[in-house]
Amino acid sequence: MSGDAVALNPDWERRYAEEGYFIVERALDDDLLAALRRDADTAIEEERGRLERGEDRYVPVSELDDRYVISGFVRRSAAVRELVFGPLAAAICRAALGPEAFLYSETFVCMAPRNQHGWIWHQDSSYLDYVGCGHYPPNLGVWVALDDATEESGALMVLPFSMLDVRKVVPHDMNKPWDSDEVVDFGRKDGVLVPVSAGSIIVTSGALPHASNPNRTDRPRRAYLLQYSQQPVVKEGKPVQLAVPFLCEGARRSPSLDEIRR
C-alpha cells in the first residue's frame, strides 16, 4: 500500500466503531519492513546498554533480556517517518479519528525470545486518565507487527466492544506493579486472539482492553506502536507527549524535523 493516496476503506470505520479495532493485513512493503526491523534492533541494543549500565529507564516497564519499550525514533529514522506520516497512516486516521489527527506517541514494543513478561489487560489511554487528561477522547493506537505475531510469540488479545462494551477508560492503579492483575479489572479475560503476519497493522481504540502473553519462541517479537489524537493533548499549557499536526481538514501533512523535535 504505497503511493500518495490510499482509499478510505468503509469496513475500517465500521469495525472500529462496532468492535474498537480493525486489521490491515500485510500493510508494509518488504523494504520498509526491513528498515523498521533494523531500527527496532538498534533500539533494543541501545536500551539493553542503558539497562546494563543501570541508567534510569524512560519507560519503567523495560526489563533486561525480557521486554523493551523505546521511544524517539521518529526524530532519528527516515523509515519511521515514512510510516508515521505516510498515506496509509493518513487513511487509517481518517477512518478512525476523522479529518484532524496529531501524532501523540511512538514506541518500539519488543519481547526478547523466551521472555517472562507479557502485557496485562489494560487500555492504552489509561495513561491520559492517570496524568489528569481523562477528559480527552481516547487516542488511536496503530500497532505494527514487525515479526509474525502468533499465539506462541505473544500476539495481541483484545476484548472487542461487542464482547465487553467498555468505550471509555476505566481507572488503572498505576501504583501497582505493571505485571499485576491488580492494576485494573475488566470483569473478564476471555479475549479474542489476533494473530497477524509480519508487516500487518492492528488499529485499536485507546479504550479497547487488550493484553498479550510472553513470547515462548526462540525469536524476538518486535512491534512498533503509534498513537494519534484528535487534538493536542495538553496539560498546564504543554503537550503531555507529542502533539505533531498530521491531518488538517483531512489533508495529510509531512511535518518537518523541527516540528517533530519541539
Task: Copy the grid coordinates of residue 5.
Answer: 493516496
- What does the pLDDT read at residue 41? 98
pLDDT in tens, 166-189: 888 888 887 787 777 788 888 888
How far is 183 from 253, CA to CA, in rounded Å? 38
Quick one: what percent of the chain has pLDDT higher than 70? 96
Predicted pLDDT of residue 18: 96
The pLDDT score that the predictor gives to residue 2 is 37
For residues 176 and 184, give the distance between their C-alpha atoms in angstroms, rounded to a whole number.
9
**104 pLDDT above the threshold of 50:** yes
DSSP 21-49: EEEETT-S-HHHHHHHHHHHHHHHHHHHH
Superfamily holding 10-261: q2cbj1_9rhob like domain (2.60.120.620)
Q: What's the mean pLDDT in 2-27?
A: 84
Question: Which letter, b or e, does each residue of 147-166 get, where b requires 16 or more Cβ atoms within 10 Å of its Cβ?
Answer: bbbbeebbbbbbbbbeebeb
DSSP codes, 100-147: -EEEEEEEEEEE-TT-S--EEEE-TTHHHHHTT-TTSPPPEEEEEESS
Q: What local confidence, expressed as pLDDT, does residue 72 receive?
A: 95
Residue 3: pLDDT band with limits 50, 70, 90: very low
- pLDDT band at 243, cuts 50/70/90? very high
Q: What is the DSSP letter of 91?
A: H
Q: According to the model, what pLDDT value does residue 1 have?
A: 38
Cα distance between residue 131 and residue 137, in whole Å: 14
Classify burial at 67, counting beta carbons within 10 Å of its beta carbon; exposed 0-12, middle 13-18, buried 19 or more.
buried
Residue that has been written with the C-alpha cell 461487542 in this structure? 162
Residue ranges per domain, the chain?
Answer: 10-261
Q: Using one digit for the tens of pLDDT, what is the confidence trace for 20-66?
A: 999 999 999 999 999 999 999 999 999 999 999 998 766 678 999 99
Assessment of whether the complete model's pTM goes beyond 0.85: yes
Residue 121 predicted with pLDDT over 60:
yes
